[in-house]
Chains A and B, each alone.
Chain A
Amino acid sequence: MHITDILVTGEPIIYAAMVSIALVTVAIVFLLTYFKKWGWLWREWLTTVDHKKIGIMYILSALAMLFRGGMDAMMMRVQLAFPNLGFLDSQHYNEIFTTHGTIMIIFMAMPFLIGLMNIIVPLQIGARDFAFPYLNALSFWSFFFGAMLFNISFVIGGSPDAGWTSYTPLSGAAMSPGPGQNFYLMGLQLSGIGTLATGINLMVTILKMRAPGMKLFHMPIFTWSTLVTCFIIVFAFPILTVALALLTIDRIFGSQFFTLTGEGLPMMWANLFWMWGHPEVYIVILPAFGIFSEVIATFAKKRLFGYNAMVWSMIIIALLSFLVWVHHFFTMGAGAFVNSVFSVSTMLIAVPTGVKIFNWLATLYKSKIEFTVPMLWSLSFIPSFILGGVTGVMLGMAAADYQFHNSYFLVAHFHYVLIAGTVFACFAGLVFWYPKMFGHKMNERIGKWAFWLFFAGFHVCFFPQYFLGLDGMPRRLFITNIAEWLPLNIISTVGAFGMGLGFAVFVYNIYYSYRYSERETTGDSWNGNGRTLEWATTTPVPFYNFATVPYVDEIDPYVRMKEEGKTTFDETKLKPIHMPSYTGQPIIMMSFLGLASFGLIFEWIPVAIAGLIGGVVMMIVRSFDYDDGYYVSVEEIKRIERKARGL
């Protein structure tokens, strides 16, 4: 086999991408070597099991993926606004919308939220790390290698081109030969392992490691949203795992689960995909709801209105999310009765969602709102998300969906919920908790610029798409030079570039704040408005989080602590702290499984077997690993705490 057999050749854009990838890699290697940072990188980051560092790596990767997915989006928008330019050909366009959708949902939205959960949940419940820190590192690396595998597809082997839904029979071996679709299957499978493990890990952490006295109904709402999300993950992801495995066996080993021949059932893929897929959209929205609730309560300076109703509505949403999947293929033709059942269950979800909206409004009612950047993201979420939710209910009416389905109306709907919901929440949460992670805030003035650009760009981009949909423009279409559509398409593209600019300003703000922001001196960064335990820790957060774990028996415990002039720290109660040791095993194990996946993608079975053997060997090594961690001595804790608290 020759190297040019697997590299994608003959495309100027791809050559440019290859050159830029090579340049960036060389630059990184050079910088690391020049500043002698290899050892630091390995010791402090690649082998870490600290939930705060793993969270930061998740968020950095997610931002990189947001950039990659955003570039895809820009290219599509250019093509749609200037269809006669011949910027992309149809094959390219198919590959780009496929990677855009997959990357944004699987490798951007979920890792971003999981990153925030990683950092914040243990701090909110008074825990010193995850229940299984080693497993947490494993999860991160499985996501990371899955994402890298998926991303190299466009220079090596060719990208998948059957949509992020990868419907069979199109995505089967007969109609999509070659490695492209395998990249999709193996990338998702590998990172799915990590997601599932994180679901279990966080669930155990929340159920078993809360501060003494903290009942479930004392937990901060973001922690609650994480717990509910974990249940959805644990029950939904196995369905995806099985569906991906069946399609992989179809494609690589010639079975006929989803094929047109041999009594295969192509629509069964759609059925299984959406049994996971609909819960998946709630996996990315519930944590977002949690973040908005925290931000709104903090800057309205009030306890969240209707805490219990908020929790129960999340639980009901989680249950219902498993009962609506057919609304994604009403047009399959299962019949009026089946469609009616799922139409009703779909519209039911709007009820608990509405409850949440009214609770946020009631929290804001008659409060003294402080318009910080996280609060701006959260406030603008409410009206924007309502537009997405209402159009969702319209799509949920089966008869009407025969018109809306797969038109730009649908595209506008899911971008309104995913961007105004999930992406706004990621930005809100990152800015809100930024001082906890890096010891300084993000600049407010630049942050507001980023917000307004992104917010305006978002509406200019996606609002016209509702009307494009009503005018009959189908999704996933590459030739759009139809006179009636052109003006709205151009407006939409202008909005997309506005969002791009907003993102660029956001990233610039990270650099600017690193250089110029004031360093935090207290842990309660937002003018002393913190309500939950994460604000009770010092900044920077010591690696063991809490020197002494406080007793908690109410919602928003830090509010009362501050009134009574107390802290979580009680020097008389110090005991040695048991912490897990760092280890290089997770990254090594997952790179072997990454190699195995790579082998399967190109159907090089010996490579796949070699990778698998490596993975199993690493598992055996782990099974006989008796490293029980180490203890931090009382003297050392005292020294760290006194310095941090200025005692």
Chain B
Amino acid sequence: MASSKKGIPKNHVIGFILSLVMTVAAAWAAIRSDLPVTWVIIGIMVLALLQAGVQLFMFMHVIEAGSGGGHVPWNMMFHGFALAAILVAGSLFTMSFGFDHGDHGGGSGGGDEQFEEQPEEHAGH
């Protein structure tokens, strides 16, 4: 516990304000700004990375040395990445079917073979 050091925890205050500012910036970029969609997406991605950096370095002890049971932050980050991979890859795997809007351009994923057997399902799109 940080009981010995009283006073303002500078790092945390700065980190907190930074993360708020970045959140508001992301929301502004998506809702209010007139930037082209590509730039909005790139901007949000960059902000997300910075945000993760702030959390990890200013709050979550990534730079501290490991303790008894290995380096906990790295350990949890590994699990976090594994989960994110399941989430994103799994959603793409299960949800990308029937999205070719009838013009047969893209559309990949598990459902394609099935839909080719019933072309009439596509007709109306």
Contacts and interface: CB of A to CB of B under 8 A. Distances in A.
Interface of A: 207, 231, 235, 239, 265, 267-268, 271-272, 275, 322-323, 325-326, 333-338, 341-342, 623, 626, 628
A335 B110 contact: yes
Contacts of B3: 626, 628
Contacts of A334: 94-95, 97, 110-111
Interface in B89-115: 90-91, 93-95, 97-98, 109-114
Contacts of B9: 623
**Most chain B C-beta atoms within 10 Å of own C-beta, residue among A337, A341, A623:** A337
Nearest to A337: B110
A335 B114 contact: yes
Given A334-B97, A338-B111, A235 B83 contact: yes
Nearest to A265: B95
Contacts of A341: 93
**Most chain A C-beta atoms within 10 Å of own C-beta, residue among B79, B90, B93, B112:** B90
A168 B9 CA distance: 44
B6 interface: yes
A338 B91 contact: no
A623 B98 CA distance: 51
A333 B83 contact: no
Contacts of B69: 207
A25 B45 CA distance: 51
Contacts of A335: 97, 109-114
B91 A323 contact: no
A173 to B, nearest CB: 18
Contacts of B6: 626
A252 B92 CA distance: 27
Contacts of B87: 239, 275
Nearest to A628: B3
Interface of B: 1, 3, 6, 9, 12, 69, 79-80, 83, 86-87, 90-91, 93-95, 97-98, 109-114
B111 to A, nearest CB: 4
Given A336-B114, A337-B110, A628-B1, 18 more contacts: A207-B69, A265-B95, A272-B91, A323-B90, A325-B90, A333-B97, A333-B111, A333-B114, A334-B95, A335-B113, A337-B113, A338-B93, A338-B94, A341-B93, A342-B94, A623-B9, A626-B3, A626-B6
Nearest to B80: A235
B102 to A, nearest CB: 15
Nearest to B112: A335
Nearest to B83: A235
B95 A271 contact: yes
Contact of B91 (A235, A268, A336, A628): A268
A267 B1 contact: no
The interface residues of chain B, by DSSP majority, are classed as helix
The interface residues of chain A, by DSSP majority, are classed as helix
A272 B80 CA distance: 16
A265 B96 CA distance: 11
Nearest to A236: B83
A235 B83 CA distance: 7
Contacts of A267: 95
Contacts of A265: 95
A271 B79 contact: no
B91 A271 contact: yes
A333 B113 CA distance: 12
A275 B6 CA distance: 43
A631 B110 CA distance: 63
A317 B17 CA distance: 41
21 contacts: A235-B80, A268-B91, A271-B94, A271-B95, A272-B91, A275-B87, A325-B90, A326-B94, A333-B98, A334-B97, A334-B110, A335-B110, A335-B112, A335-B113, A337-B110, A337-B113, A338-B93, A338-B97, A341-B93, A626-B6, A628-B1
A478 B79 CA distance: 44
A322 B85 CA distance: 11
A341 B109 CA distance: 13
Contacts of A271: 91, 94-95
Contacts of A322: 83, 86
A322 B80 CA distance: 13
A605 to B, nearest CB: 16
A256 B86 CA distance: 24
B119 to A, nearest CB: 15
Contacts of B110: 334-335, 337-338
A87 B94 CA distance: 42
Contacts of B113: 335-337
Nearest to B79: A235
A323 B94 CA distance: 12
Nearest to A336: B114
Contacts of A333: 97-98, 111, 114
Contacts of A207: 69
List the 10 closest pairs (A to B, CB-CB), nearest first. A335-B111, A338-B110, A335-B110, A337-B110, A335-B114, A628-B3, A235-B83, A334-B94, A326-B94, A338-B94
B29 to A, nearest CB: 15
Contacts of A325: 90
A334 B80 CA distance: 27
Nearest to A332: B94
A626 B8 CA distance: 12
A335 B97 CA distance: 8
A275 to B, nearest CB: 6
Contact of A275 (B1, B90, B98, B114): B90
Nearest to B3: A628
Given A271-B91, A335-B97, A628-B3, A323 B86 contact: yes
Contacts of A336: 113-114
Contacts of B111: 333-335, 338
Nearest to B9: A623
A500 B98 CA distance: 47
Contacts of A272: 91
A342 B90 CA distance: 11
Contacts of A239: 87
